Amino acid sequence: MMMRGLALTMLALPFAQPLLALEQTTAPATCDQPQHRQLDFWLGDWQVFDGATRQLVAYDRIEKTYAGCVVEERLRFLTDMYRRPGVLARLAGVAISRFDGESWLQMWADNQWGAIVLRGAPNAAGDMEFLTVTPSRHRDVKLIYHMHVDGTLEILQYVAPAGSGKWTQYGDLIYRRNR
């Protein structure tokens, strides 16, 4: 009963009125267009394997949040595959992706290498392709998400000197659903 009285008191305060009015007039987010579902193939719990060695290297969980408008990733490596020299912990990071009306924006941050911002859209082959918005550590990054007919997902990783367009593959991750 005390909490209800406190809530009513807060609503009576002058500064709470504009916030309440804004809350009541703001339309809910509508993220139900086909473009908002372009990353749905990636949703789920995954085991991640090194494409070269076929060794299990990480676990990745991808889910939609905020009324289906945001795709959140939580990646945790089990090996030293991407461990930065001198860092005691294995690579772990998060990404959030959001379709902004024109393309996908993905923001990645981790405990090893820092942060990176990428833009993405389906490419001519039908794969999802992300490119860095601004170079990170004087290099551009390209990620290509390719869904195989057997249900596995392959993420090809490329790097190039900033602005050069001279791509070199540095990673090949194979995703299998964690059953």
Write down all domains in the chain, each with its CATH number in brackets.
37-177 (2.40.128.20)
Residue 2 tokens, joined: 């005390």
pTM of the model: 0.82
Does residue 59 contact residue 74 with C-beta atoms inside 8 Å? no
- pLDDT tens, 42-101? 999 999 999 999 999 999 999 999 999 999 999 999 999 999 888 899 999 999 999 999
Cα–Cα distances in Å, from 134 out to 52, 165, 167, 168?
29, 13, 16, 18
Question: Nearest Cα to 98, choosing from 126, 130, 144, 127?
Answer: 130
pLDDT digits (tens, 9 = 90+) for 96-144: 999 999 999 999 999 998 899 999 999 999 999 999 998 888 999 999 9
Q: What DSSP element (H or E) covers 164?
A: none
Q: What is the dihedral of CA 17, 19, 21, 26, to 10 degrees?
A: 180
pLDDT digits (tens, 9 = 90+) for 150-165: 999 999 999 999 999 9
